Amino acid sequence: MDFENIRTIEEQIIKLAVKELLEADFLLSVTDTNDVIQVKTDQLYLITSALHNDVENMLHCFSNDVLIGYVYFVYGNNGFDVISKHSASIETYIKTTLELSEYLQERIVH
């Protein structure tokens, strides 16, 4: 698969994960390998703009200023596997995203 297709798949999964977490009323922040890129916000555009700017990002999920969980994104592999890992505490909030990732993996790999 070419780079553009991989990036498109990654962006689709990322955007869905962010939307699902915002719909669950989390505030989100983004870090890369060096520092915080985006402080806690509920603005979809600010979050998605801060993601995909490095080889990896961590998306932190907060409720009432308490860290509830994270999603760890690693870019440039197969696209469907952009979510490298996530905390179990937020798994139910990104259910549709994880299902999409599995669906795309089945279509691409098989």
pTM of the complete model: 0.93
| Predicted pLDDT at 108 | 79
Element (H, E) at 60: strand 56-63
CA 67 – CA 16 distance, rounded (Å): 20
| Predicted pLDDT at 4 | 85
17, β-bridge pairs: none
**Does residue 91 carry a pLDDT above 70?**
yes
**pLDDT band at residue 97 under the 50/70/90 scheme:** very high
Q: What are phi and psi of 79, to 5 degrees?
A: 95, -60
Contact 73, 14 (CB under 8 A): yes
55-75 pLDDT tens trace = 999 999 999 999 999 999 999
Q: How many domains does the chain have?
A: 1
| Predicted pLDDT at 64 | 94
Nearest to 23 by CA among 15, 33, 12, 34: 15
CA distance readout (Å), 108 to 7, 41, 42, 80, 81: 14, 34, 32, 8, 11
Length of the chain: 110
CA 87 – CA 73 distance, rounded (Å): 12
User: Domain range holding 97?
Assistant: 3-109
25-51 pLDDT tens trace = 999 999 988 787 888 999 999 999 999
**Does residue 3 carry a pLDDT above 90?**
no
Please indicate whether residue 86 or residue 3 has the higher confidence score (pLDDT). Answer: 86
